Structure 1
């Protein structure tokens, strides 16, 4: 509860995270870019610092930081390497999808270990031949105490190295949301489960991504999360709604880093005897970036409060905040790179990595086209709140 929130301890935490991001975090960023891997030592460091369980409640072993305040930490973490942000973002979010539906055994075997950083859970919804979720084609059929799965998933973050796939499928012969079903499916070499490493991406280097193919793969019925028919409820309401707000704040944090790099460069680079920062054209870029970031941040925090308060417009604001923030990030990083001129195109400069990483957030947790559909439907039906 926010009534027992320790503000002084929280401010100390923000200071700790900020210092790490600017120091050790930058060293790790360079290492990730050099090797293309997130080292086990980095994961252990995040775990030891307790940053993988910031948002989860105390009964799950987390710190119980309220969602809107947790986003202040996500804002700072997002100024670091995208793979570091991804670890903190995903692990601090998957418990929300699992907890309301998990059995006591699943809480002890999967949810608590996930919050502690002892088990990695990969959110597994996206398919190459499906769109927003209700049309998923991966199927299962019940055979006694076992479900048998067939289908394919792709773009699954942490899908290669995870311990469990938080996976959504549908019962054979069903259509729409009612036939969907979720599982905490162990990544333990199940028969018929093929895991293809698909991690060679433009940005977010170091984070593994998988293509998953299932051919008559058996899943014990005890791995089901929730009841039959609740699959999309688990995936969309439990994970995607707050996760979109978190991604939106990630865009804010990365945009702040991009503009910071642009300011630093403008204050050191001279042309024709003057600092770039003294030139009106450059100041206009930086001013536009500042205003863009501030406006997006305000909307993100409003969306976070709506989620905390379980307001009717929480889903609409979640999509709106993500839509606005990632478009803002594209504008800010483009201008920040332009301030650097040709120098910004070289990998030796941090803005090059920031520019690449920023592009991924345009489709993470649903493309902007999907977010516009969500918001547009709410507006035309009078459910948008104003």
Structure 2
């Protein structure tokens, strides 16, 4: 068993039963919750309690952390179904079933007892807190800490932090004061109620209604050194090492699930809507659009499962494949939801139609876990490195030069 749970799995009959129960929940109570969330713009505590009680927040983690112990490929099968539900439901299960992957490989046993296991159980909500308003999401972070004895004092700003309002802790990434590069970064669990923190609720978004987001300002906020995950200098390794690749694959599968929901709605509407005495489904233009959607979804799903298997197996190209899957799936989702809305005609633009929410929610996937431009840079860097390594092998001991202009973004 590895710290990221890649050695875990449940028997196939148990998995099929679990898949059936998740599907039944998504198509039943999940749809009722979707209506309530859209009507109020908030996710009530009762939904969190229901998801936790059903065990849906502890599916992906290994049994030694209190999880169900699904393999990563099995977990992606459930994410596909959850993603057909409201985007806030998908966001909850995606985040809570994922943040332990960042913490666990670097945590001490006392930190597992205090933070990781309660997070897996859904008793403690940890918000991933990396993005800053004036920087990217890599070694250029500027939020900083200075250490005095057993306490760090944190200053800086973070924004677009999912669950940053309602969380118990922020899993926050900063740098040691005066340091540069990734070597000076630290990962800290910052108490949501620590002094010196200003929390601004920025939850009024186009889609993914109900999921809270926050902008955060820290001014000499005290953080115990005991709340540091990993060593000084490990901050970006915690943030990106065991978390980003599987999270990108999960987002890709979220695109697949949401596209399936859009397609389901479009197919049903094309069969029930009649124009000039014939159902829309009999119109070749409509039929071809839905056929294109079906092929598009199947192709993205296959690539995403391929990336999931690669990460589960520890393949060296899993990082590149995760970016390929995310890039492909998010572009697919854009095409599928646009055609699905077009099939509905003007009525699809009204909020009374489920496709309207699906269309809005789909746009958010283009930003989550990196834009398409970032994914292309990651893929290109992998291609250049592979070519560089092949050239070095052909040349013998001397290393071939890197190509000019090769991307240098963090994966």
TM-score bracket for the superposition, by shorter chain length? over 0.9
Whole-angstrom distance in 1 between the partners of 2:210 and 2:280: 34
Whole-angstrom distance in 2 between the partners of 1:365 and 1:217: 27
The offset of 1:380, in angstroms, is 2.2
Structure 1: which 5+ residue stretches go unaligned?
none
The 3 A distance-change label for structure 1 pair 79 and 113 is same
Whole-angstrom distance in 2 between the partners of 1:66 and 1:108: 23
The offset of 1:347, in angstroms, is 0.3
Structure 2: which 5+ residue stretches go unaligned?
2-6, 391-411
Name the TM-score, length of structure 2 as normaliser.
Answer: 0.92
Among 210, 216, 223, the residue aligned to 1:212: 216
Q: Is 2:205 aligned against 1:186?
A: no
The offset of 1:382, in angstroms, is 1.7
Whole-angstrom distance in 2 between the partners of 1:93 and 1:384: 33
Whole-angstrom distance in 2 between the partners of 1:334 and 1:380: 34
Whole-angstrom distance in 1 between the partners of 2:266 and 2:344: 7
Residue deviations 1:6-29 (CA, integer Å, cap 9, x gap): 111111111111111111100000
Whole-angstrom distance in 2 between the partners of 1:152 and 1:372: 28
Residue in structure 1 matched with residue 318 of structure 2 by the alignment: 314
Whole-angstrom distance in 2 between the partners of 1:295 and 1:196: 41
1:26-45 to structure 2, matched below 5 A, reads 26-45=31-50
1:6-85 to structure 2, matched below 5 A, reads 6-85=11-90
Q: Secondary structure of 1:340's match?
A: helix
Moved over 6 A (4+): 1-4, 383-386
Does structure 1 conserve the Cα–Cα contact (< 8 Å) formed by 2:8 and 2:69? no
Whole-angstrom distance in 2 between the partners of 1:280 and 1:8: 41
Q: Secondary structure of 1:195's match?
A: strand
Residue in structure 2 matched with residue 236 of structure 1 by the alignment: 240
Q: Secondary structure of 1:355's match?
A: helix
Does structure 2 conserve the Cα–Cα contact (< 8 Å) formed by 1:147 and 1:219? yes
Does structure 2 conserve the Cα–Cα contact (< 8 Å) formed by 1:316 and 1:384? no
Residue in structure 2 matched with residue 156 of structure 1 by the alignment: 161
1:318-357 to structure 2, matched below 5 A, reads 318-357=322-361
1:281-320 to structure 2, matched below 5 A, reads 281-320=285-324
Q: CA RMSD in A?
A: 1.5
Q: Is 2:79 aligned against 1:90?
A: no
Whole-angstrom distance in 1 between the partners of 2:388 and 2:375: 13
Q: Secondary structure of 2:360's match?
A: helix
Whole-angstrom distance in 1 between the partners of 2:326 and 2:76: 13
Q: Secondary structure of 1:100's match?
A: helix
Q: Secondary structure of 2:112's match?
A: helix
Name the TM-score, length of structure 1 as normaliser.
Answer: 0.97
Residue deviations 1:51-99 (CA, integer Å, cap 9, x gap): 1010100011000000011000000000000000000000000011111
Q: Secondary structure of 2:310's match?
A: helix
